[in-house]
Structure 1
Amino acid sequence: MPLCSTDDGCRIYFARQGEGLPCLMIPGLGGEGAFWNAAALHMPEGLELILMDHRGTGGSDRPDGEYSIPRIAQDARNLLDALDIASAVVIGHSTGGMVAQTLVTSVPDRVRALVLSGTWARVDTRFRRMFEAREALLRDGGAISHQKLTQALGYPASWIEANRTALDAELLAADERLQPRAIHLARLQMLCRYDVYEALHGISKPTLVIGAPDDGLIPFSASRDLASSIPGARLEALEGGHFFPRTRAGDYARLIVDFLQDLPL
């Protein structure tokens, strides 16, 4: 099992596939690199995909203490160091998009280009209320109720019906996956404490922003705000709910490939 030790001793699980231009793919709040599996199947040769599990999730360690977006960004930087990768295309979805924003605003030399999907520019009132409510549901209603709401907000109704068996299995696994509960509560809390909105205007890397007009978690207006805050950013719309890298995997990969083909990387 490939593990990378970070500067504070936490071991981060990762997977690598393909050879070529390095692409670090950072998942959302669920934190597991396997989120990208469907999209990865549609990515062409000539790319090295690096899929990481956030600390506190998947095959990574679950240390006690504070969780934060900057800490996950530092883990990503440590992983690039361990793999001897000077710079990479950084692809981040949802929470992973905020990690990617943190990387490019803090260590821009490590980022060749950015893909920010289903993510946000700043913590506004709607965002805060959404994630404070999700935190309360996980704390007081339990993991299964929390996962049910995540599915209902995150996928189109037709996709839920067509994939109900797989989603039911996710519900059955929710209690085990969201342990220790305190860590997952801390991961929800970290989202409302941090953004890099004031620094977005200084990003000079080629940037693709993708949002879903039917996203129930992060509205498309957040993608518009993000793209308008980053000089030269390209904005694309792709319906498929919040989890469109899964529900529209081929179309999502195609947008990324088209973006990268236009760049002198």
Structure 2
Amino acid sequence: MHYEIHGNPEATQTVVLCSGLGGAAGYWAPHLTALSKTHRVISYDQRGTGRSPAALAEGYSIADMADELLTLLDSLAVTHCAFVGHALGGLVGLQIALHRPALLERLVLINAWAAPNAHSARCFDTRIQLLTHCGAAAYVAAQPLFLYPPTWIVANGERLEADLAHALAHFPGETNTLLRIAALRAFDISAQLGAIKVPTLVMASRDDSLVPWTQSVQLAEGLANAELDVRDFGGHACNLTEQTDFETRLLAFLQPPV
């Protein structure tokens, strides 16, 4: 898989960034300046997306994604890290916390979930219909409606057009996208949450139109060692729409204990 390493190679803490459904390392580009000042940062294109081309197999799962990342981290001799995951990326982090908890020093979950919910299911049904009946261009064009608040879309039209053109040019294909959606829809560890002891920051936005913020409340309540940070504005991609505030909160949480 394609990966990138940024920041200080001598930093005491490594931060692994794991993207959502799109899977690309580029999602985290706006945060690299802030994180790289104090941390060694690893981002990557998930298998079957971006610069990590692959034909995903039927039955592909979040556990498969976690195993692929663990293989990459083992190859880089990463024995301890903080993990930051957005949406699907948060599910990968939760899976790793169950499978190899000793690897994780901190876990940050942004608009993630532990089990399916009816609202997100309707959203994904709509996205699947767009992709299979209207094609990749329609699927990509609708993406901002699920990621960002309306006022942010209005104020960032030029940036969005560039992002959408890039997303369409690097679209991973219908089959891989559908398999990745199926993987996140099948994920359910609600009965295992209490087994996760890693210090966790659960972040959410009340105006997230894709994943209800109450899913993050349930996550925080089910985890053994979690803090909940809920904001009123930001949408599903609140780390991008509220970038400065997000980075301040994230860096404060990542600081190792004295």
TM bin, normalised by shorter chain, reads: over 0.9
Contact 1:13 1:59 in 2 (8 A): yes
Give distance in 2, aligned partners of 1:39 and 1:251: 11
Percent identical among aligned pairs is 31
Deviates more, 1:150-159 or 1:58-67: 58-67
Superposed, 1:22-61 pairs within 5 Å as 22-43=14-35, 45-61=37-53
User: For 2:249, which of 247, 251, 255 is the aligned residue?
Assistant: 255
2:64 corresponds, among 49, 71, 96, to 71
Q: Distance in 2 between matches of 1:120 and 1:224?
A: 9
- Which segments of 5 or more consecutive residues in structure 1 lack a partner in the other structure? 1-11
Distance 1:46 1:186, change over 3 A: same
Cα distance in structure 1, aligned partners of 2:216 and 2:31: 20
| 1-structure distance, mates of 2:129, 2:149 | 24
Gaps of 5+ in 2: none
Structure 1 residue 89 corresponds to structure 2 residue 82 = yes
- Which residue identity is paired with 1:102? Q
With structure 2 as the length reference, what TM-score do the two structures score? 0.92
Residue 118 of structure 1 and its aligned partner are, at CA, apart by: 1.2
Matching of residue 191 in structure 1 with residue 184 in structure 2:
yes
Tell me if the contact between 1:70 and 1:99 (Cα under 8 Å) persists in the aligned partners: yes
Alpha-carbon distance, 1:158 to partner: 2.0
CA deviations 1:159-188 (Å, max 9, x no partner) are 212221222234444443224221112111
Give a deviation string over 1:203-262, Cα, whole Å, max 9, x none: 11111000011111111111111111101310012321111111112211111111123x
Rounded to whole Å, the distance in 1 between the matches of 2:171 and 2:132 is 11
| Change over 3 Å in CA distance of 1:130–1:120 after alignment to 2 | same
Q: Match for 2:143 among 150, 168, 174? A: 150
- Residues 125-204 of structure 1: matches in 2 within 5 Å? 125-204=118-197
Contact map agreement 1:132 1:189 (CA 8 A) in 2: no
Query: Which residue number corresponds to residue 224 of structure 1?
Result: 217
Between the aligned partners of 1:232 and 1:174, the Cα distance in structure 2 is 36
Q: Aligned residues, how many? A: 253
Q: Do 1:144 and 1:172's aligned partners in 2 also have CA atoms closer than 8 Å?
A: no
SS at match of 2:207: coil
Report the Cα distance in structure 2 between the residues aligned to 1:245 and 1:58, rounded to whole angstroms.
21
- Pairwise CA RMSD: 1.6
User: Normalising by structure 1, what TM-score?
Assistant: 0.90
Counterpart of 2:3 in structure 1 is 14
Deviates more, 1:232-241 or 1:203-212: 232-241
SS at match of 1:46: coil
CA distance in 1, matches of 2:100, 2:145: 36
Determine the C-alpha separation between the residues in 1 that align with 2:37 and 2:160.
31
